[in-house]
């Protein structure tokens, strides 16, 4: 749906995104591949520390509920949740979580 795509494209500008990003940071480290300083973050799923750039922002409660799509208002409310509803996670951990959510969908 047009409105959903539009809001998704810009949701990283929602205040909670930057608040959660800051919250999950765990100092700085040196990326061995480039030798450059970079941010570290703690994964909200496996609790391991890793390079922030290898992580994504996850909605603890999936934006599209496993019980069904719901209304546009429900979608917006879940997408634009507060910082507590978000967690920084490894891309690999995110994929596993999304797959298990998809498996619970009918
Ligand atoms: Zn992880």
Q: Please, what are the averages of pLDDT over each run of 10 residues along the chain (106 residues)?
A: 91 97 96 92 98 96 89 94 98 96 87
Q: How high is the pLDDT of residue 68?
A: 86
The sheet carrying 49-51 orders its strands as 25-31, 36-42, 49-51
Q: How high is the pLDDT of residue 69?
A: 83
Q: How high is the pLDDT of residue 73?
A: 94
Q: How high is the pLDDT of residue 43?
A: 98
CB-CB contact of 20 with 86 (8 Å):
yes
Q: Is the Cα dihedral 10, 14, 16, 22 positive or negative?
A: positive
Separation of CA 55 and ligand 1 centre (Å): 8
Separation of CA 92 and ligand 1 centre (Å): 7
Query: What is the H or E stretch that residue 26 is in?
Result: strand 25-31
Tokens, residue 21: 């990003």
Q: How high is the pLDDT of residue 28?
A: 97
Q: How high is the pLDDT of residue 32?
A: 85
Separation of CA 27 and ligand 1 centre (Å): 17
- Pairing of β 55-59 and β 49-51: unpaired
For residues 50 and 96, what is the distance between their CA atoms, to the nearest angstrom? 17
Separation of CA 56 and ligand 1 centre (Å): 10
């Amino acid at each position: 749906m047009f409105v959903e795509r539009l809001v998704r494209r810009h949701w990283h500008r929602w205040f909670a995104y930057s608040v959660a990003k800051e919250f999950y940071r765990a100092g700085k480290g040196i990326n061995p591949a480039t030798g450059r300083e970079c941010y570290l973050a703690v994964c909200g799923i496996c609790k391991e520390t890793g390079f922030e750039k290898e992580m994504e922002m996850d909605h603890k409660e999936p934006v599209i509920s496993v019980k069904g799509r719901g209304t546009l208002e429900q979608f917006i409310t879940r997408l634009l949740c507060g910082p507590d509803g978000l967690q920084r996670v490894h891309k690999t951990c995110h994929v596993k979580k999304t797959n298990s959510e998809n498996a619970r969908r009918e």
